[in-house]
Amino acid sequence: MNSKLYIVPTPIGNYLDITLRALEVLKYVDFIICEEFKEARRLLSHLQIEKELVSLNEHNEKEASAEIFQKIKNGKTAALISDCGTPLFSDPGLLLVQMCIQSKIDVISLPGPNSLLPALTGSGFEPDKFYYAGWLSPKKDLRRKELLRLKNIKVLLVIMETPYRLKTLLTDIQKIFGTQTEVCVAYNISLPAEKFYRGKVSEILAVVDKQNLKGEFVLMINNNIRRIHHGN
């Protein structure tokens, strides 16, 4: 039996970021598990790959995971992809992975496209130690409590958020961490409009407000007590 589940990262913007190994796996597997058919079909059409697609999303995860698991257990090979980037980061699929692991089915995770590592390495901050805070609460009071907790973690902080909440998030960071706090916004990674906004939170907030920036981003707060200062 060839039962296997591959976790396959897909491009977050630029289709050229697909890896040769990911292409090989997507062509090899019996079927592909995706979040949304539309996004998956667009990618596979571009890659000239035709495969059976099975949907697994936040609305059907429990039921779909059980059905997909049975197919894999019966000897099928599958690839799990998300709409973009590396699956399982704020995406469904963990339940299926856990089911396969518990049943001794091989789970093979491929390296590949993601926004986290390019953001870290392009930030100019020390990336050797960082705390991934993920997505904060959309509710103002809860979000500010989370930021107060993060303020006590003295390493580089990494936060994800929806495009339309960047200004609100920066406003909260300025209030809680202080106007002189160094931040970096990695904006639209891998897309033609990719840009890194680096500086004090007050400066970046002014730019975001003036340009009305709304795009995918990773936000980093330099909360490292060993901050590097160049020059006098």
Cβ(32)–Cβ(78) under 8 Å? yes
**What is the per-residue pLDDT for 226?**
59
Cβ(137)–Cβ(149) under 8 Å? no
Q: What is the three-class DSSP state of 5?
A: strand
Written as one letter, the residue type at 112 is: G
Under the phi-then-psi rule, with left for phi > 0, alpha for psi from -120 to 50, and beta for the rest, what region is 53? beta
**What is the per-residue pLDDT for 225?**
66
Q: Is the pLDDT at 232 greater than 50, yes or no?
A: no
pLDDT band at 213 (very low <50, low <70, confident <90, very high): confident
Q: What is the three-class DSSP state of 222?
A: strand
Q: What share of the chain is helix, strand, coil (3-state, %, to 5)?
A: 40, 20, 40
- Candidate from 41-45, 104-108, 190-194 with smallest mean pLDDT: 190-194
pLDDT band at 103 (very low <50, low <70, confident <90, very high): very high
Cβ(177)–Cβ(223) under 8 Å? yes
Alpha-carbon dihedral 153, 154, 158, 159, rounded to 10 degrees? 40
pLDDT in tens, 214-225: 889 999 999 986
**Identical fold between 4-109 and 116-222:** no
132-159: buried (b, 16+ CB within 10 Å) or exposed (e) per residue?
A: ebeebeeeeeebbebbeebbeeebbbbb
**What is the per-residue pLDDT for 223?**
94
State the average pLDDT for the chain. Answer: 93
Question: What percent of the chain is modeled with pLDDT above 90?
Answer: 86
CATH topology of domain 116-222: 3.30.950
Closest to 115 (Cα-Cα) out of 150, 142, 89, 78: 89
- CATH number for the domain running over 4-109: 3.40.1010.10
Domain ranges in the chain? 4-109, 116-222
pLDDT band at 28 (very low <50, low <70, confident <90, very high): very high
**What is the per-residue pLDDT for 231?**
43
pLDDT in tens, 80-100: 999 999 999 888 999 999 999
Q: What is the mean pLDDT of residues 4-27?
A: 96
